Amino acid sequence: MDSGILIESFAEFAKQKNVDRPTMIRILEDVFRTMIRKKYELDDNFDIIINADKGDLEIWRFREIVDDNSEDIWDYDKICLTDARKIEPDFEIGEEVAEEIKLEDFGRRAVMTARQTLIQRIKDLEKDILYQKYKDLVGEIISAEVYQILSREVLLVDGEGNELSIPKNEQISKDRFRKGENVRAIVDRVDMVNGNPKIILSRTSGEFLERLFESEVPEVFDGLITIKKVVREPGERAKVAVESYDDRIDPVGACVGMKGSRIHSIVRELQNENIDVINFTDNLELYISRALSPAKISSMKILEEAGRIAVYLKPDQVSLAIGKGGQNIKLASKLVGMEIDVFRELSDFEEEDVDLDEFADEIDSWIIDELKRIGLDTAKSVLALSNEDIVRRTELEEETVKFVFDILAKEFEQ
């Protein structure tokens, strides 16, 4: 293979991969210099001239002429007078010899290796370009076409034919993909798997919902409304805390839109996920009340050091506060960054309560301490909850909780 064919084929391949000319020339020179070092050990005294458009390659070796008996005769950049005069008969000592080295002089095997190296270098460059492109797009929404649906992931292709993946755990449970349809998702991360970039998309992250608000609500995109926090149970329910620095703008109203016009498109994109938009405030009690909406709180006790909040509600508000499958209280806890415990408020006509410490002779102190840890310090506060609720919120076993219930219940029977 002569140099013209090698360079032309490489240039065509590089062009298909959208490699710019300076990068292509740099790769060619690097590969040829590697060939030179393998044959001559050093490449300092070599010049490489490449014209990729014409497929031209010139490799020139420069050496200083020394006397045949000189001690420097074995230096890589020296040539004895006798050998120099075989190139040009009128050369003299001290002059510089410029000798052109043909690609064929390196041998067929070296040339074939160079060809494979050039192709591999372009492929590596292509991977690096893809990695950097999507690394810069992390956190942004993109649209891609579904081309294969697997049990653990859905594979998509972007406009340039690059493969993208939405793993099962990054899909909304209600998502049903069809081959050929366009899907919107956020670029979650870019991993390197066996030297190849793997682009992971997500439809379940809070950031995806945030970007959807930016695309549907101009005030959010323009920065007039700030999204303070997003928490989600993907496909089921979400809470979004928003704030406006302009008193003339109602952040909740702007995000919802006239008759829900703005939020409806987001809800449809997220498979009818129920989205609560609430007004952010630095007033923690007010923020907690808004976070637990639609439930109405009667009173609350904030234990900041313990990172817990005890909220008291009328009996008909407890189920609203907890929500379907505990979603409302779980999301409200994430939104305010503290664990929220819900208690049923005792009515005025109910019997007087009894402090748990009064039962120390019947109930072990460590059990009482565990109940106090979740804000239960009276008999009535324990009996107001179900057996399952206390087991879930404490380290106590079901039998232990049943034992405690029996003792406390007897107190009021008396």
For residues 77 and 44, the answer to whether their CB atoms sit within 8 Å is yes
Long-range contacts of 190-196 (CB under 8 A, 24+ apart): 190/131, 190/134, 190/135, 190/138, 192/131, 195/127, 196/127
Q: What is the C-alpha radius of gyration for the chain, rounded to an integer number of angstroms?
A: 37
CATH of domain 137-204: 2.40.50.140
SS3 content of the chain, % helix, strand, coil (to 5): 45, 25, 30
SS3 166: strand
pLDDT at 275: 94
Looking at CATH, the fold of the domain delimited by 3-132 is given as N Utilization Substance Protein A; Chain:P; domain 4 (3.30.1480)
Polymer length in residues for the chain: 414
For residues 206 and 232, the answer to whether their CB atoms sit within 8 Å is yes
**Which two tokens mark 274?**
């129920």
Q: Show pLDDT as tens, one digit a residue, over the chain (414 residues).
A: 556 677 777 777 777 767 777 787 888 888 888 888 888 888 888 998 887 666 678 888 899 998 988 888 888 888 898 888 988 888 888 889 888 888 877 888 887 888 888 878 878 888 888 899 999 999 999 999 999 999 999 999 998 889 999 999 999 999 999 999 999 999 999 998 888 899 999 999 999 999 999 999 999 999 999 999 999 999 999 999 999 988 889 999 999 988 888 999 999 999 999 999 999 999 999 999 999 988 999 888 888 888 889 898 887 788 888 888 889 999 999 999 999 988 877 555 455 678 888 888 888 889 988 888 887 888 888 888 888 888 888 888 889 989 988 888 887 765
For residues 88 and 47, the answer to whether their CB atoms sit within 8 Å is no
278: enclosing H helix or E strand: strand 274-279
Q: Per-residue pLDDT tens for 128-146?
A: 888 999 999 999 999 999 9
Looking at CATH, the fold of the domain delimited by 281-345 is given as GMP Synthetase; Chain A, domain 3 (3.30.300)
Q: Do domains 206-276 and 281-345 have the same CATH topology?
A: yes
Q: Which residues contact 26 (CB under 8 A, 6 or more apart)?
A: none
Q: How far apart (Å, rounded) are the C-alpha atoms in residues 104 and 81?
A: 26
Q: How far apart (Å, rounded) are the C-alpha atoms in residues 344 and 68?
A: 106
SS3 397: coil
Q: What single string gives the DSSP state of each residue in 169-234?
A: GGS-TT----TT-EEEEEEEEEEEETTEEEEEEESSSHHHHHHHHHHH-HHHHTTSEEEEEEEEET
Q: Which of 246, 383, 381 is nearest to 311 (CA)?
A: 381
Q: How far apart (Å, rounded) are the C-alpha atoms in residues 175 and 318?
A: 32
Question: Hey, how many other C-beta atoms are within 10 angstroms of the C-beta on 92?
Answer: 9
For residues 333 and 374, the answer to whether their CB atoms sit within 8 Å is no
Q: How far apart (Å, rounded) are the C-alpha atoms in residues 45 and 101?
A: 12
Angle between helices 398-413 and 365-373 (to 10 degrees): 90
Residue 393 has phi, psi (to 5 degrees) of -95, -10
Angle between helices 284-291 and 327-336 (to 10 degrees): 150
Q: How far apart (Å, rounded) are the C-alpha atoms in residues 251 and 372?
A: 39
Query: pTM for the full model?
Result: 0.67
Starting at the edge strand found earlier in the chain, the sheet holding 299-303 runs 299-303, 308-313, 339-344
Q: Which residue bears the tokens 């101009």?
A: 218
For residues 311 and 293, the answer to whether their CB atoms sit within 8 Å is no
Residue 255: alpha-carbon gap to chain centroid:
25
SS3 361: coil
State which CATH number among 3.30.300.20, 3.40.140.10, 3.40.190.290, 1.10.630.10 fits the domain covering 206-276. Answer: 3.30.300.20
Torsion sign (Cα): 282, 283, 289, 293 = negative
Domain residue ranges in the chain: 3-132, 137-204, 206-276, 281-345, 356-413
